[in-house]
Structure 1
Amino acid sequence: MQLPLPLTRDLVLIGGGHAHALVLRRWGMKPLPGARLTLINPGPSAPYTGMLPGHIAGHYDREALEIDLVRLARFAGARLILGEAEGIDLARRRVRVKGRGEIAYDVTSIDIGIASDPPRLKGFAEHGIAAKPLGAYAERWAEFRKAVADGRVPPEIAVIGAGVGGVELALAMAHALRDFAPRLTLIEARAALPHIGAGARRALMARLSAAGITLIEGVAPVEVTAQAVRLADGREIPSRLTVGVAGARPHGWLAETGLKLVDGFIEIGPDLRTSDPRVFAAGDCAHMSHAPRPKAGVYAVRQAPVLAHNLAEALTGGARFRRYRPQRDYLKLVSLGEKAALADKFGLRLEGRLLWRWKDRIDRRFMEKFHDLPRMSPPPPPRRAAQGVVEALAGGQPMCAGCGAKVGGATLAQMLASLPRPPRADIAAGAGDDAAVLQFASCRQVITTDQLRAFTEDYGLFARIAAVHALGDVWAMGARPQAALANVVLPPMSPSLQARTLGEIMGAAAEVMEAAGAAIVGGHTGLGAELSLGFTVTGLAETPVGKGGAQPGDALILTKPIGTGTILAAEMALEAKGEWVAAALASMARPQGAAAAILAPVARAMTDVTGFGLAGHLLEICAASGTGAEIALSRLPLLPGAEALAARGIRSTLWAANRAATEGRVEAPVNARAALLFDPQTAGGLLAAVPAGEADRILTALLNAGYDAAQVGRVTDQGNRLVIK
């Protein structure tokens, strides 16, 4: 078998700014063989700030101005690490990520924009909201608009900071609340609109006046309360929503990198390299010493082609770096609240609705680059192949990873039935239990093994999830994790990348195992076509909890929401929102040790919900216990986006086999919510049958421990039958 080309160099992009987003898009259409691309960003999306005023005014929905970095990274074949960079070790070539350790690089680029520095005012942290990051501001604004519309709060707003951004947001909020006679005040400690032409400034001042917005210049705010902003001259400005737009600054951690800075910003030359030739920078975090310009997104966008070329040149050892030559001035298009805009360039000013349509077209065309990613055609099927090959490829869906890559339950059951029963008396495994049980004189030891194909390029996160997944069988039997062996298969890569990757994987897995009380005591490594990771885990238990003790009337409790298989399948097809994927990954990475400790003392039967889906694993309890079960769909906890994706017909590749394996034993409606009962879960929750009288107490304990647990149904006397209501 011919393996893929080996990976030999690491390119790490720090930040999901406009330049890096465009580099990712270019990379997806023409990747550099042998280079592994990593993006580090705090969240799963990045806002296009040019459309923010339009969103606040009500002209765009939230999705219109979000660059989905999860989807973009999948398109680019890049790994996305959801974390905040907090430092760079130039000598060791490492990026420090908060809560994630270090990520190694051979070449790196920084595009993190300007830090949001909310006003350092007494009370602002408690009562104010910064305009950046977008997420918190947008949510607070939506809540405030609804409260005003419902008559619960007066429409009183204060905006601190009267630069172009502050003026745009003030006009946008005034427009959105125009039917409620808003009282809006714009506060600037210095002079308003300092970086715009005189004609444009006069026009914007007139717009503020026409919108009924009061401008206060030359007076600093000193305190923010729940109902007002106090000024240095003693005045109190009524405000039920105080927005901070002032205070943009360079990120503080850049000062500790050793890179050459100018006023806190990274100095770059014409080729976008910094004082360290292996480090590039772009966007607002960078200072172009050869051609100083004001901070504006237009420069980041136009730096992207040069940056993409020069990063590839650095990775290949070339020396033909391109120069970036910024234009002398750029067209400023300022939103005016309503669907009108003002244009300013070279001191010339125009305004009107036609300019809004022009701005809208420019903004939408830019965002279409990320919303409508090019469809990359798969290679054609072979012209001559064995029977069945073309038919197997006809579906077009790539095989899912995680538990979606498992062998179907019917095939597995057929194989297991052919195995001889354990000949040893010290092997006391119950029929179909999650782990084998070994009998010793003083205790019992459980042993289990699991292996997963990688479903995310963030190998550290994948290792955490794989470790939680492997521990699931031990926790499901009420055992205390003891020891683990790792089995790692790496894709082809150079020895240096092997060491980096193994370090990420084993470091993350060791944290999970140690937190669970287990130790990784060894393992095995190998090279293959793709990354896969598994663990053999042992645990100790005085009385293991099996699947065969459920009784009619018992309550069924589930400790995690379901939907991971559907979300991962959608993510592979570029159909899932990044925030849905991020939520699913976070759920999968959540250990179940504390939940097992709550459930095990009272559970009559317990299992973990993984590859065969909730229906399949519940039927295993029913078969072992001689009972049936009922599930209430309305009580079923679902991951964000799972039901919407299932309604669109998106299924994991194992879904059909899971559904077929339960044929004749499940009575269920035909709808999206019911379809998720057959969705294969990776690192899913525990499913326990507990006495009905204990259910409320146990559920309360699980919720207090932070689990998204729910009582999803009950055990019935209808043998080996599952009814979905």
Structure 2
Amino acid sequence: MMQPAPELTRDIVLVGGGHAHALVLRKWGMALLPTARLTLINPGPTAPYSGMLPGHVAGHYPRAALEIDLVRLARFAGARLILGRATALDPEARAITVGDRRIHYDIASIDVGVTSEMPDLLGFAAHAVPAKPLEGLSRRWAAFLDAAEAGRAAPRAAVIGGGVAGLELAMAMAHALRARGCAAEVTVIEAAPELPAPGAAGRRLAAALARQGVTLRLGAPAAEVLEDGVRLASGETVPAAFVAGAAGARPQPWLAETGLPTEQGALRVGPDLRVEGRDDLFAAGDCAHLSHAPRPKAGVYAVRAAPVLHDNLRAAATGARLRPYRPQRDYLKLISLGEKSALAEKGGLAVESPLLWRLKDRIDRGFMEKLRDLPAMTPAPAPDAQEPAEPLCAGCGSKLAPAALAGATAGLPAPARADVLSVPGDDAAVLRVGEARQVLTTDHLRAFTEDPARLARIAALHAMGDIWAMGARPQAALATVILPRMRPALQRRTLEEILEAASDTLRAAGAELAGGHSTMGGETTLGFTVTGLLDGDPVTLAGARPGDALILTRPIGSGTLLAAEMRLKARGEEIATLLETMETPQGAAAERLRGAHAMTDVTGFGLAGHLMAICTASGVAAEIDPEALPLYPGALRLAEAGVRSTIWAENRAHAPVTGAEGARGALLHDPQTAGGFLAALPEAAAAHLLPELAQAGVPAHRIGRVTAGPPAIACRPGAAD
């Protein structure tokens, strides 16, 4: 007898994807705590590893080399990932504000790093970029390098702040500009009269700056950042086309507004890493101040604190005893010198050598490899099978086989009621209510994201797809919510997130959430029954004519990406792009396509399956240009690697495509969740609509044409011309 899943009793929330939290996620995934729901909140799908930033700026590492993939780590740890920036925390309500949402917790940990923004320096926000967070610096530096190499920008850069981080950055910039053939002019602007690095380390750093051609301006406070440089307090201007701020890195300002004890903006924590006075709140990394053992801000302390933080989070959730974190007094500092050489300093001794850069490189790459080389997730063996079964896909990848569905529904009688209008092949029913006509549909999704609000938005938009595709306007919806076993407090939190997000999404489309039904089950599943109102005749599958252009309003490949994400094979940025697209409303596209001869939304049966439905209902054939197909980022690479969704083989068998070859041919059968509209419309109308759709923010593509003949689909290069 199958054992029921344990009841979820605690919400543990990690705020920020810093080094400590990344390592906590990895360790958590090695031994899950079944009664805890783990959540990670972070602005983006990746987090940069700061130790490799100077090497990246110098050109030694590509951007991807220092990205910690939080989507992959969250999947490995069984955690839900909420992509958004935390802006407030209410310790009494145990709630974290993320955008317009409040995420409640029983236990939370803060690891949001620091910022180098300088809001008090005139002109900084308009003309400079902070060194931390790293995302903005990396992007803008790459653009500046390209501009300097092409002669569109003067190869002059300035770094405000002469600490070790600022010096590393300046030397990296000088090296990168010279490597591009530019006559680099890099200046470090420091308010203090001398370098903060003392003794031998300071002397060696000064010599390294001179070798790299970096000008050091000591005792020169910055007064204003201009469009073409930095004005000093003395009135002198340092010319610069690129300005970075590396002075006075400080914790996120909202931490000081929580009412929690802070030290210069950082949360004060005790030996067990709990915030002073709180049993339910931890902090680590640069945003934490170790009251029992103050240390300078350095990534090494966050890395060493991670195992203690992991153990203490589990202990707080289970009632076990917490253990203390005892940081080392000093550590080996390895400082990049622009080129592939490094300075090592510890205990007042300093040594410089290219061999030390190789040591630093090995340490940094080892840290990143630890977060990438995750143990394989072995699926459970299938009943009566020797090999483990592939995990069942979520979203529309788990739909029943199209042949089975078609066979089961073929024997249903035609409607006997005069007010129930039969529309063969369409997913929505058309009802006559007095003088009005109403469209009725239902759809549900197995959870493919552990963020309940995001799932609710996508599921609501997915369900409205059939309403929009038939030319109707959404009217009302009923929700069906299935949640895994969890205590009532977690049920309420989850339901509130789902219903608020669903209501907002439906209301934005002109509909109302009117009620629904909920139950517990083996996994989260969310669906909506939606009604819509028709102003005229419905747009159905029947009506496509030879010569019509085929228009697709959204990329394909979501099934492949979701299947890959479950197997830890997708990239975090690819999944973030996919989810952002899936939760984009399609009402504007539907409004402009109401005059189509035939239309459907592309969902579980894939592009080929839904096009075949149009061909069958209309008595026509179709040609597709595989090179014209819009694809989600990463879909082609993953399809080439053999990633397939659960229903893919059945989709291909049900709607074969002549000439479909390779990965693009495979993606024709990929099941889509919240897919775009596939419309057949006159050639002249298509030529007019495509630019209009683009102007409305809908990246529609002409992917082929309708042809005369029995229902069939063929791949033909140039069919979209």
TM-score, normalising length from structure 2? 0.96
The whole-number CA distance in structure 2 between the counterparts of 1:675 and 1:67 is 30
Deviation at 1:119, TM superposition (A): 5.9
Equivalent residue letter for 2:449:
T
- Equivalent residue runs for 1:27-426 within 5 Å: 27-99=28-100, 101-118=101-118, 120-179=120-179, 180-191=181-192, 194-274=195-275, 275-318=277-320, 320-380=321-381, 389-390=384-385, 393-394=387-388, 396-426=389-419
Q: Name the count of aligned residue pairs.
A: 712
Asked whether 1:586 is paired with 2:587, we answer no
Asked whether 1:706 is paired with 2:706, we answer no
Instruction: Please list every run of 5 or more consecutive structure 2 residues that lacks an aligned counterpart in the other structure.
Output: none
Q: Deviations over 1:551-574 (max 9, x none)?
A: 222222222111110100010000
Contact 1:170 1:184 survives alignment (8 Å): no
Contact 1:196 1:344 survives alignment (8 Å): no
Asked whether 1:572 is paired with 2:566, we answer yes
Give the stretch that moved more between structures: 55-64 or 184-193: 184-193
- Equivalent residue runs for 1:458-607 within 5 Å: 458-542=451-535, 543-600=537-594, 602-607=595-600
The whole-number CA distance in structure 2 between the counterparts of 1:365 and 1:428 is 64
Give the 3-state SS of the residue equivalent to 1:390 in structure 2.
coil
For residues 120 and 643 of structure 1, do their structure 2 counterparts lie closer, same or farther at Cα, with a shift above 3 Å needed? farther
Equivalent residue letter for 1:549:
G
The whole-number CA distance in structure 1 between the counterparts of 2:133 and 2:252 is 14
**Residue 673 of structure 1: aligned partner:** 664
Contact 1:119 1:247 survives alignment (8 Å): no
The whole-number CA distance in structure 2 between the counterparts of 1:129 and 1:145 is 15
Give the 3-state SS of the residue equivalent to 1:363 in structure 2.
helix
Equivalent residue letter for 2:153:
V
The whole-number CA distance in structure 2 between the counterparts of 1:619 and 1:512 is 31
Q: Deviations over 1:245-292 (max 9, x none)?
A: 224212111122121111111010111111221111111001111111
Asked whether 1:656 is paired with 2:657, we answer no
Deviation at 1:694, TM superposition (A): 1.8
The whole-number CA distance in structure 2 between the counterparts of 1:250 and 1:316 is 30
Asked whether 1:721 is paired with 2:712, we answer yes
Equivalent residue letter for 2:204:
A
Deviation at 1:380, TM superposition (A): 5.0
Contact 1:197 1:344 survives alignment (8 Å): no
Contact 2:506 2:513 survives alignment (8 Å): yes
Deviation at 1:118, TM superposition (A): 4.1
What RMSD in Å do the two structures reach over aligned CA positions? 1.7
Contact 1:268 1:286 survives alignment (8 Å): yes
Contact 1:161 1:186 survives alignment (8 Å): no
Equivalent residue letter for 1:298:
V
The whole-number CA distance in structure 2 between the counterparts of 1:645 and 1:692 is 34
For residues 193 and 338 of structure 1, do their structure 2 counterparts lie closer, same or farther at Cα, with a shift above 3 Å needed? farther
Contact 2:270 2:290 survives alignment (8 Å): yes
The whole-number CA distance in structure 1 between the counterparts of 2:637 and 2:194 is 45
For residues 625 and 120 of structure 1, do their structure 2 counterparts lie closer, same or farther at Cα, with a shift above 3 Å needed? farther
Equivalent residue letter for 2:540:
G
The whole-number CA distance in structure 2 between the counterparts of 1:27 and 1:283 is 18
Deviation at 1:459, TM superposition (A): 1.1
Equivalent residue letter for 1:593:
G
Deviation at 1:144, TM superposition (A): 2.5
Contact 2:178 2:184 survives alignment (8 Å): no
The whole-number CA distance in structure 2 between the counterparts of 1:49 and 1:294 is 15
Give the 3-state SS of the residue equivalent to 1:501 in structure 2.
helix
Equivalent residue letter for 1:276:
R
Contact 1:559 1:686 survives alignment (8 Å): yes
Give the 3-state SS of the residue equivalent to 1:340 in structure 2.
strand
TM-score, normalising length from structure 1? 0.95
Give the 3-state SS of the residue equivalent to 2:294 in structure 1.
coil
Report percent identity of matched pairs: 59
The whole-number CA distance in structure 2 between the counterparts of 1:163 and 1:65 is 22
Equivalent residue letter for 1:363:
D
Give the stretch that moved more between structures: 283-292 or 623-632: 623-632
Give the stretch that moved more between structures: 123-132 or 103-112: 123-132
The whole-number CA distance in structure 1 between the counterparts of 2:623 and 2:126 is 47
Contact 1:453 1:532 survives alignment (8 Å): yes
Deviation at 1:696, TM superposition (A): 3.1
For residues 60 and 185 of structure 1, do their structure 2 counterparts lie closer, same or farther at Cα, with a shift above 3 Å needed? closer
The whole-number CA distance in structure 2 between the counterparts of 1:194 and 1:96 is 40
Contact 1:630 1:713 survives alignment (8 Å): yes
Contact 1:118 1:245 survives alignment (8 Å): no
Q: Deviations over 1:492-521 (max 9, x none)?
A: 111111111111111111111111111121
Equivalent residue letter for 2:162:
A
- Equivalent residue runs for 1:593-672 within 5 Å: 593-600=587-594, 602-663=595-656, 666-672=657-663
Instruction: Please list every run of 5 or more consecutive structure 1 residues that lacks an aligned counterpart in the other structure.
Output: none
The whole-number CA distance in structure 1 between the counterparts of 2:339 and 2:60 is 9
- Equivalent residue runs for 1:428-467 within 5 Å: 428-467=421-460
Q: Deviations over 1:29-78 (max 9, x none)?
A: 01112011000000101111001111111222222211100000000000
Deviation at 1:417, TM superposition (A): 0.7
Give the 3-state SS of the residue equivalent to 2:8 in structure 1.
coil
Contact 1:184 1:212 survives alignment (8 Å): yes
Contact 1:163 1:192 survives alignment (8 Å): no
Equivalent residue letter for 1:158:
A
Contact 2:160 2:188 survives alignment (8 Å): yes
The whole-number CA distance in structure 2 between the counterparts of 1:247 and 1:463 is 41
Runs of 4+ in structure 1 displaced over 6 angstroms?
A: none
Deviation at 1:222, TM superposition (A): 3.5
Deviation at 1:120, TM superposition (A): 4.6
The whole-number CA distance in structure 1 between the counterparts of 2:531 and 2:379 is 42
